[in-house]
Structure 1
Amino acid sequence: MPFKKIAVCIVFISFLFNCQNTETPNIKPQIIPIPSEQTINKGHFVLDNSTGIKYTDDFKISAEFLKSYIENGSSIKLQDNNSISFIKDDSIENPEGYLLEILPKSIVIKAKTDQGAFYAIQSLRQLLPTEFENKTFSEAKALISCAAIKDEPQFEHRGMHLDVSRHMFSVEFIKKYIDALAMLKMNTFHWHLTDDQGWRIEIKKYPKLQEIAAYRNETLIGHYSDQPQQFDGKTYGGFYTQEEVKEVVAYAKSRFVTVIPEIELPGHAQAAIAAYPELGCTGKQIDVATTWGVFEDIFCPKEETFTFLENVLDEVATLFPSTYIHIGGDEAPKARWKNCEYCQKLIKNEGLKDEHELQSYFIARIEKYLNSKGKQIIGWDEILEGGLAPNATVMSWRGIEGAVEAAKQHHNVIMTPTSHCYFDYYQSENDNEPLAIGGFLPLEKVYGFNPIPEELNDDEAQYILGAQGNIWTEYINTESQLEYMAFPRMLAMSEVVWSKPENKNYPDFVKRVENFHKRLDALDINYANHLYEIEGELLSNDNLSYQLKTLTDGKTIRYTLDSSEPTLQSEIYNQPIPITKSVTIKASLFNNEKQLGKVFTQNINHHKAVGKKITINKAPHKSYLGSGAEGLINGVSGSDSRYGDKEWLGFWGEDIEIIIDLGEETEINSIETRFYNGQGQWIYAPNEIEIEIENEVEKMQIPNATEKLISIKFEPNVSGRYITFKIPNHGIIPEGKQGAGNKAWTFIDEIIVN
């Protein structure tokens, strides 16, 4: 070959090589949860049939996971060389931490443990095309951008919960759920296996748990608060055999996920008592519960009950290698114990003060037994009542107060408050959301959760082990709906518990979620996509105006004010809309071609108090701040079903006084407001309210109704400047109701003055 041709070939090959190095642009990785440190470098690694993988037995699980993921997801077959190498690095302090370096010719994974390397693989996985997830990648090679990632978790407990007692899900789906946890670097699956509505785990010593406790005669249709309640008339139930439980536990172990079982006691035991009536205080035959809520039949602290529970826990402890067993301890009404001769005698003989201390005695005895088996207990924060068992870990769900109390006593705590961690709550204000228990927990609120309460000092904060998302399934009866409620909120929770707070940025997270949706699509996970929805807020500066905003960039908001549906020809939103009268705003998000997401509709009632001055003598609970005091007179009413939205204000156990200053003497014909009355969620309308206008006082009695919303209207037909409301809290929740013995919540909506 002539020299000139050789030179041309060399130049051409050099050109191709340089093109290859610039073929993949330097794009910031879209990894969820976001790593501690990540640096993007020039070039890329080529994954193809020449790629090999080298590892020792120290990294057997993680390396084999990667090999299977690549080879099952594509036609690429890995060789026996060190293109991808695993290196044990004892200098990495955190056993779950890792270093991942992607170079043009190699990928290096450094970790102290196999688990740390596994999390490196989960990050590497998110750098590969999504087609690997559904096994459809058909190219001969995949390009991975060069990068260096140093990463470790913020918390040691990073979990998701799943209730299978109310509704049950297949073993294959449980595995899919665990896969999702592992992908997001979560390490704990809290499996809620027993409750009033069904016992879901095989206990060989007690066959009636499978024959009777695992099945209910029928199931409630619609919401618990709907009156009259209706039922489907169909037997429902089932249970996981011990072989199936072993299968799930082994599968989870292969993903470095620990399964923590929950066996409820002493409350939420109606299904077990239905199978063995002698475990209750009355000894009478009862049925497995067919509705939701709290039930008075709880385990009686007799010796035969403890024998039963110890035998059950023996089998459970054998099936689950986890250090922890969750024993519930929540919502245990004391009515049966108060009227039980045996219980009262036991209280006297043990020198206990009351039934709350009897519950503490019950929990402590179970803890001592499990400790003797090498196990530790976790309980919901009610186990604090009457004194905390010596070695117990508290799962704080009723707020953060239990967490603060336990941590100050130097007990370990897992954070799961309803306000930020209950994924059975509504996640959007859309009216067409699937039926849920109530509440409102949008993606942004989950993402903004800080598991360490500000009330704790640095020494006390070390007892916060982490947090988890909870999914209770009273209103979730299909796998598709369960996924819809879990995703993308699970993505937010993964970043709450893994990532450093200083690395968290919600707008950036939203962009990564939008990208991650492609991965969820490939994994056939049904997620809720609310990223294309619009949010609104009334601004009350010198003049009233209404602001629209959306989560995603590069899109256009178009709106109408005449109740018509927005189209590509509608007005483009670019500044707050002036509000001078009552109006209905409709808006949607558009790209250049079509509408994205659903239509946002906001009715604004421009009544006489809108934009005026308002004060409240007590601050709303920080978990339910709504839009602050001004939100009560902003012209926007709250949701009919989501008491935790931006308009409802929540107060826990407090009497409140509200004063509205209209600025000048004003003719007042009517005053309206409403209270949420979700008694299943501990929310009660007040028994009465007092309204004062210019020294004229009106007291209004509110009947103890079961409706979810209690509206009141007062027609004074007077003139005045100041309106004062005195709203006493309902008081202590009575026995037999959910939350019995606790202070009730008060939730109030818009105060409308005409």
Structure 2
Amino acid sequence: MQIKKKRLVLFLFIICMACNESEVIIQQPQLIPAPERLEIRQGNFLLSTNTEIIADDFRQIGELLESYLEPVLANTDGVENKVSLIKDSSIQNPEGYSIEVNSNHIELKASTKEGAFYGFQTLRQLLPAALETKKLKDRRIAIQALRIEDQPQFLYRGMHLDVARHMYSVDFIKKYIDAMAMLKMNTFHWHLTDDQGWRVEIDKYPKLNQISSYRDETLIGHYSDQLHQFDGKRYGGFYTKAQIKDIVAYAEKRMITVIPEIEMPGHSQAVIAAYPELGCASIEGEAKVATKWGVFENIYCTKDKTFNFLEDVLDEVLELFPSKYIHIGGDEAPKTNWKTCDNCQARIKSEGLEDEHELQNYFITRMEKYLNSKGRQIIGWDEILEGGLAPNATVMSWRGTKGAVEAAKSGHNVVMTPTSHCYFDYYQADTEDEPLAIGGYLPLEKVYAFNPIPEELPVEESKYVLGAQGNVWTEYMPTEKQVEYMAFPRMLAMSEVVWSATENKNYEDFITRLEHFHQRLDVLDINYANHLYEIDGVMTSENGKSFYELETLTKGKDIRYTLDGSEPTLNSEVYTSQIPVSESLNIKSAVFNSEKQLGKTFSQTINYHKAVGAKITIDKEPHKSYPGSGPEGLINGVSGSDTRYGDKEWLGFWGDDIEITIDLGEEKEINSIETRCYNGNGQWIYLPLTMEISLESESNDNELDISLEPELLLSSLTNNPNLKAYKRDYSKDNKIYQTKARYIKIKVENYGIIPQGKQGAGNKAWTFIDEIIVN
């Protein structure tokens, strides 16, 4: 029987047993990730001092379970019953398990310790969250009778954490691993080195820890801010070999493999600051450990001395990490210095290479051969495809899905982690009070909707997709609490992406389970972002009329709203259907229960201009990762966020020139036309080279005012260098010259290729465009 789509009861159901006057807590199943099959049955299993745990086949897991249940087993009376952990070789998936619960027996079956461990995590979630902190003494607990058959959909289920930009305690790393284990994730990608710091103790090269592990100061505010400000405080540190061994062993007991990332050939400025001879001759002695974020041209030279150094370092890394894979980075390696370096040019000539891109392939392939000789394999970001892919490499695809498709079609394994769905350093809400982040917009629902199998891959090639992971880059996460805030609850959504069968995924059901799961996060002291009681709004048009719709994630609550900008209260109107819009409005709304407001107040200004509800076409499709609300979203009266370029109002185009046509339906008087574009070079987003705005009359044969140039609206941009507004104002000497037109055409010329020395160098630039306002 497949897991039911309908939502299960959210709350703890409390019943009174006839044989005993004390209450029995029965935890109704609210499992994350959702199991493959779940069948609810009649009855329950009562835990007590008379419960026996039998775990001859899986002693380690049995000890975990006994320790977890100790407060209940030691203090409550009841009938004799037992919990058995049984090895069952018929369960073919090594990470699969089954659980059967009736009134006198719980059977957890698995063919391996991994499967038994994941079964234990499910049993854990079938028990009250308060048991996490041993606070349920003298309380009677029962488990709902049921049957579960479960197995993961993907082999690789990962979370990433960058400790090079900001470093965190060993205790926090273990807490992060514990959360992963609870969610049945099995791979911890530990990003240990970058331009801003080296975090691994290396004996043979002590300057890595004396110099490369510390930066003089750290950027304050956002990279895009002008001018850059710094805190003036020395920052850094590294994990000792003893600490790393401890963490790796800790993860192994929780069925998690730790994959270290040692960046090469790029993101190596911190190393070159300590050992300048490893860089190209033209820049030796000039590098310092980076104090701000970005991409730097100081990358490893391809001389033999560099390879000898890296082999020595990797020898020590391999002693610490028994993982099959070693991540070697391979991303964002500007070739500027290679082009002028005698050593690199000699290498290109001696190896018969065509250019610097093939030189990078030579670099990666050489390191791969070395690691292969040690019984290991490399994994790297999708830039390792440039110049040809190393023979046995696995690709981690982050720049969309193109790299994944290319690698899979070549028979290489792939881990999916595209920015559009897997970068948890992006904003997760479009409210202005969210903590500072790198940019972008990745709400929980978009994470949950991710399918790791690219649409372009046929079934026979999809087998190369090992799975997916969420990435936590920490440039803007100086504290452990902020890491948790950005990672949770998106990590929970990702766990279901990589574990649960696609047919069992249901976002509304997930939200119901998540609301319940918050109790467990609370007792585990995990600082999650709670946006469940927030409101989302969308503008729609139908038959020339416009409406605004409100919705919230959680059910059984009221949305109350006002239209005049005043704060909603318990006395405000209850939202029951879409709100007609025929003029500009300032809508405010919030979620309420019968007693109080639960979430933040949602506010939306609607600028009802002359193009709202008109017909719009664009000659290119927005990129599927950033479709906004489609073309209609450009004339719906709602402007995008000033900071979240990936929200549903901004449309993103990757490398495309575009032409937009708006049909007003009839000739209307036009006083001005304005729009704006996002300017986030750190995220590969550039302003258009040109933007042309023109009008056409009813007959389409009279183009007007083609010579006018767009003007920068300085008044609205004084404090935001990330935006540029364009306006065509049909006026002269402050006098409006009314112009009649039916059609508006806007041509937007993409920036082109990102130049060397910039993040994303060599790639196509993005163009992001917002609301087109017609007055």
- TM bin, normalised by shorter chain, reads over 0.9
Q: Are the counterparts in 2 of residues 614 and 630 from structure 1 also a CA contact under 8 Å? A: yes
Please state if 1:751 is matched with 2:772: yes
Structure 1, 389-398 or 24-33: larger mean CA deviation: 24-33
> Is the alpha carbon distance of 1:74 and 1:657 closer, same or farther for their aligned partners in structure 2, counting shifts above 3 Å?
farther
User: Which of these residues, 663, 666, 672, is aligned with residue 665 of structure 2?
Assistant: 663
Q: Are the counterparts in 2 of residues 653 and 744 from structure 1 also a CA contact under 8 Å? A: yes
Q: Are the counterparts in 2 of residues 267 and 297 from structure 1 also a CA contact under 8 Å? A: yes
User: Hey, what's the Cα distance between the residues in 1 that align with 2:430 and 2:693?
Assistant: 31
Structure 1, 469-478 or 15-24: larger mean CA deviation: 15-24
Match of 2:727 in 1: 713
SS in 2 for 1:260: strand
**Which amino acid in structure 2 is aligned with residue 500 of structure 1?**
A
1:419-460 Cα offsets, whole Å, 9 max, x none, are: 000000000011100000000000000000000001001110
Match of 2:38 in 1: 38
Map 1:661-700 → 2, pairs under 5 A? 661-694=663-696, 695-696=703-704, 697-698=706-707, 700=709
How far 1:61 sits from its partner (Å)? 2.5
**Which amino acid in structure 1 is aligned with residue 31 of structure 2?**
I
Map 1:129-140 → 2, pairs under 5 A? 129-140=128-139
Match of 1:3 in 2: none
Match of 1:223 in 2: 222
How far 1:707 sits from its partner (Å)? 2.1
Map 1:83-102 → 2, pairs under 5 A? 83-102=82-101
TM-score, length-scaled by structure 1: 0.95
> Is the alpha carbon distance of 1:17 and 1:132 closer, same or farther for their aligned partners in structure 2, counting shifts above 3 Å?
closer
How far 1:141 sits from its partner (Å)? 2.8
Please state if 1:529 is matched with 2:550: no
Please state if 1:355 is matched with 2:369: no
User: Hey, what's the Cα distance between the residues in 1 that align with 2:619 and 2:385?
Assistant: 30
Q: Are the counterparts in 1 of residues 710 and 727 from structure 2 also a CA contact under 8 Å? A: no
Match of 1:62 in 2: 61
Match of 1:108 in 2: 107
**Which amino acid in structure 2 is aligned with residue 297 of structure 1?**
N
Match of 1:488 in 2: 489
Match of 1:10 in 2: none
Match of 2:9 in 1: none
SS in 2 for 1:485: helix
Match of 1:202 in 2: 201
Match of 2:625 in 1: 623
Match of 2:501 in 1: 500
Structure 1, 279-288 or 205-214: larger mean CA deviation: 279-288
How far 1:700 sits from its partner (Å)? 3.6
User: Hey, what's the Cα distance between the residues in 2 that align with 1:406 and 1:749?
Assistant: 34
**Which amino acid in structure 2 is aligned with residue 306 of structure 1?**
F
Q: Are the counterparts in 2 of residues 167 and 476 from structure 1 also a CA contact under 8 Å? A: yes
Q: Are the counterparts in 2 of residues 73 and 136 from structure 1 also a CA contact under 8 Å? A: no
TM-score, length-scaled by structure 2: 0.93
SS in 1 for 2:564: coil
Match of 1:5 in 2: none
Match of 2:156 in 1: 157
1:353-406 Cα offsets, whole Å, 9 max, x none, are: 110000000000000000000000000000001000000000000100100110
User: Hey, what's the Cα distance between the residues in 2 that align with 1:621 and 1:357?
Assistant: 29
Q: Are the counterparts in 2 of residues 74 and 138 from structure 1 also a CA contact under 8 Å? A: no
Map 1:198-277 → 2, pairs under 5 A? 198-277=197-276
1:507-558 Cα offsets, whole Å, 9 max, x none, are: 0000000000000001000100000000001110122110001111110000
How far 1:64 sits from its partner (Å)? 1.7
User: Hey, what's the Cα distance between the residues in 1 that align with 2:711 and 2:236?
Assistant: 40
Q: Are the counterparts in 2 of residues 546 and 578 from structure 1 also a CA contact under 8 Å? A: yes
Structure 1, 275-284 or 404-413: larger mean CA deviation: 275-284
SS in 1 for 2:133: coil
**Which amino acid in structure 2 is aligned with residue 179 of structure 1?**
D
User: Hey, what's the Cα distance between the residues in 1 that align with 2:139 and 2:611?
Assistant: 67
How far 1:74 sits from its partner (Å)? 7.7
Match of 2:299 in 1: 298
SS in 1 for 2:746: strand
**Which amino acid in structure 1 is aligned with residue 101 of structure 2?**
I
Match of 2:5 in 1: none
Q: Are the counterparts in 2 of residues 160 and 181 from structure 1 also a CA contact under 8 Å? A: yes
Q: Are the counterparts in 2 of residues 153 and 499 from structure 1 also a CA contact under 8 Å? A: yes
> Is the alpha carbon distance of 1:205 and 1:220 closer, same or farther for their aligned partners in structure 2, counting shifts above 3 Å?
same
**Which amino acid in structure 2 is aligned with residue 174 of structure 1?**
I
Q: Are the counterparts in 2 of residues 73 and 131 from structure 1 also a CA contact under 8 Å? A: no
Which runs of 5 or more residues in structure 2 are unaligned? 1-14, 697-702, 731-736
Match of 1:552 in 2: 554
SS in 1 for 2:601: strand
1:133-159 Cα offsets, whole Å, 9 max, x none, are: 122112243111111100000000000
How far 1:106 sits from its partner (Å)? 1.3
> Is the alpha carbon distance of 1:326 and 1:701 closer, same or farther for their aligned partners in structure 2, counting shifts above 3 Å?
farther
Q: Are the counterparts in 1 of residues 27 and 126 from structure 2 also a CA contact under 8 Å? A: no
Question: RMSD value over aligned CA atoms?
Answer: 2.0
Q: Are the counterparts in 1 of residues 425 and 437 from structure 2 also a CA contact under 8 Å? A: yes
Match of 2:749 in 1: 728
Match of 1:192 in 2: 191
**Which amino acid in structure 1 is aligned with residue 589 of structure 2?**
A
User: Which of these residues, 571, 575, 583, is aligned with residue 569 of structure 1?
Assistant: 571
Match of 2:49 in 1: 49
Q: Are the counterparts in 2 of residues 52 and 78 from structure 1 also a CA contact under 8 Å? A: no
Match of 1:12 in 2: none
> Is the alpha carbon distance of 1:21 and 1:506 closer, same or farther for their aligned partners in structure 2, counting shifts above 3 Å?
farther
Q: Are the counterparts in 1 of residues 295 and 757 from structure 2 also a CA contact under 8 Å? A: yes
Match of 2:541 in 1: 540
How far 1:345 sits from its partner (Å)? 1.2
SS in 2 for 1:598: coil
User: Hey, what's the Cα distance between the residues in 2 that align with 1:161 and 1:477?
Assistant: 16
User: Hey, what's the Cα distance between the residues in 1 that align with 2:711 and 2:249?
Assistant: 55
1:172-216 Cα offsets, whole Å, 9 max, x none, are: 000000000000000000000000000001011110010000000
**Which amino acid in structure 2 is aligned with residue 107 of structure 1?**
I
SS in 1 for 2:600: strand
**Which amino acid in structure 1 is aligned with residue 395 of structure 2?**
V
User: Hey, what's the Cα distance between the residues in 1 that align with 2:548 and 2:127?
Assistant: 43
Map 1:437-476 → 2, pairs under 5 A? 437-476=438-477
User: Which runs of at least 4 in structure 1 moved beyond 6 Å after TM superposition?
Assistant: 15-27
SS in 2 for 1:322: coil
> Is the alpha carbon distance of 1:17 and 1:676 closer, same or farther for their aligned partners in structure 2, counting shifts above 3 Å?
closer
How far 1:103 sits from its partner (Å)? 1.4
> Is the alpha carbon distance of 1:42 and 1:555 closer, same or farther for their aligned partners in structure 2, counting shifts above 3 Å?
same
How far 1:18 sits from its partner (Å)? 6.3
Q: Are the counterparts in 1 of residues 72 and 138 from structure 2 also a CA contact under 8 Å? A: no
Q: Are the counterparts in 2 of residues 536 and 546 from structure 1 also a CA contact under 8 Å? A: yes
How many residues get paired? 737
How far 1:574 sits from its partner (Å)? 0.6
How far 1:693 sits from its partner (Å)? 1.0
Q: Are the counterparts in 2 of residues 159 and 189 from structure 1 also a CA contact under 8 Å? A: yes
How far 1:60 sits from its partner (Å)? 2.6
Structure 1, 67-76 or 265-274: larger mean CA deviation: 67-76
> Is the alpha carbon distance of 1:724 and 1:22 closer, same or farther for their aligned partners in structure 2, counting shifts above 3 Å?
farther
Match of 1:8 in 2: none
**Which amino acid in structure 1 is aligned with residue 740 of structure 2?**
S
> Is the alpha carbon distance of 1:91 and 1:699 closer, same or farther for their aligned partners in structure 2, counting shifts above 3 Å?
farther
Which runs of 5 or more residues in structure 1 are unaligned? 1-14
Structure 1, 634-643 or 716-725: larger mean CA deviation: 716-725
| Residue identity (%) | 66
How far 1:698 sits from its partner (Å)? 3.7
1:678-698 Cα offsets, whole Å, 9 max, x none, are: 100000011211112121324
How far 1:97 sits from its partner (Å)? 0.1
Q: Are the counterparts in 2 of residues 616 and 658 from structure 1 also a CA contact under 8 Å? A: yes
**Which amino acid in structure 2 is aligned with residue 664 of structure 1?**
E
User: Hey, what's the Cα distance between the residues in 2 that align with 1:385 and 1:31?
Assistant: 42
User: Hey, what's the Cα distance between the residues in 2 that align with 1:82 and 1:181?
Assistant: 31
Match of 2:734 in 1: none
Match of 1:144 in 2: 143
User: Hey, what's the Cα distance between the residues in 1 that align with 2:72 and 2:310?
Assistant: 46
Q: Are the counterparts in 2 of residues 675 and 749 from structure 1 also a CA contact under 8 Å? A: yes
User: Hey, what's the Cα distance between the residues in 2 that align with 1:280 and 1:349?
Assistant: 19
Match of 1:4 in 2: none
